[in-house]
Amino acid sequence: MSVPTIRGVIRRNLLIVFLIALFAGGGGFYLLLEHAAMDNAGQQAELMLQSAMAVRGYTTKHILPNFQKLNDAVFHEETVPAFAAQTVFRTVSSGDAAYTYREAGLNPTAPSDRAGPFEVDLIRQFRSDSNLTEMRGVIDSGRQRLFYLARPMRLKDERCLICHDTPARAPKAMLAKYGPNNGFGWHMGDIIAVQLLTVPVTQQFRSTLELVSILIGGLALIFAIAYFALTAAMEATVAGPLDKLAHAAEQASRSTSKTPELPASGAREIRTLAEAIQRLRISLAKALAQLGTKP
């Protein structure tokens, strides 16, 4: 098994250090930018969700009571807070289908509000943990990545049971529009749906990867320059003088009459070692001379 030279050890250690620094720097920068992108998407989602909640509140407080006074035989969807909030949101986000707001339930009145597989999973998680009030993360829609913000919708207002307790209590106009099979059997305190808002983050993540690629490229260039500069410096101050010192010590150990050339340059420790070997060689020569032995 071959023993590595000092040059090989220096170059290998420098390369290891630079590679670790490159991956650590690139990975840390990516995590930092990804965290910033998630924070930005979260703030955007919260603002849009507050807007949807404002529409719901306005519909419940101002629109619904006025329509109830009319005692109209026709069911007006505009009086339903969920319908109003989702309709306004779709109008605002019509330029980008990735921005979505849904109030998806397991047993909704309108078939369009029926929860999909992902929303069903969210509802089950909220139901299994009463302390869970919000979930957020990133999902892949197939075309792009979406940041989602989900909150449970718990039945707290007894007035909602007028429409969602039994078909017998529900307005006839509502039964005529949706039928008696959907949106009934709700109970106070139950989580009946999930509010789910999505915001596209594909572009933010793509920008993050581009910035990280630029950073890694810059670091790689800097590390390459530093690597060659340091290896040259170590060659001049350490590896080269040590090589000469080892060669001189090898010649001295064989007690040849040839005077070995010891390095006069390099790091202070190497020069000190060279001077010590030179003194040792002279002392050895004197000792051999006193014994009458020719060195």
Domain edges within the chain: 57-200, 209-290
- Which two tokens mark 159? 């007035």
Query: Could you say which DSSP state residue 61 is in?
Result: I
**DSSP H/E element including 151:** strand 145-154
Element spanning 135, H or E: strand 135-140
- Per-residue pLDDT of the chain in tens (295 residues, 90 and over written 9): 555 677 788 888 888 988 898 888 888 888 888 888 888 888 888 888 888 888 888 887 777 766 665 555 667 777 788 888 888 887 877 767 778 889 899 999 888 889 999 999 999 999 999 899 999 999 887 778 889 999 999 988 887 887 888 888 888 878 888 888 888 888 898 899 999 999 888 888 888 888 888 888 888 898 889 888 888 888 777 777 777 777 766 666 665 455 555 655 556 666 677 677 667 667 766 776 777 655 4
Q: What are phi and psi of 153, to 5 degrees?
A: -110, 110
Q: Residue 294 corresponds to which tokens in the numbers above?
A: 């020719």
Which numeric CATH code is attached to 57-200?
3.30.450
SS3 of residue 252 by DSSP: helix
Burial class of residue 170, CB neighbours in 10 A (0-12, 13-18, 19+): buried
Spell out the residues 6+ positions from residue 193 whose beta carbon is closer than 8 angstroms to its own.
82, 103, 104, 105, 106, 108, 113, 115, 123, 152, 153
Q: What pLDDT does 159 receive?
A: 77
- Asked whether 163 and 108 are in contact (CB, 8 A), the reply is no
Q: Quick check: pTM over 0.85?
A: no
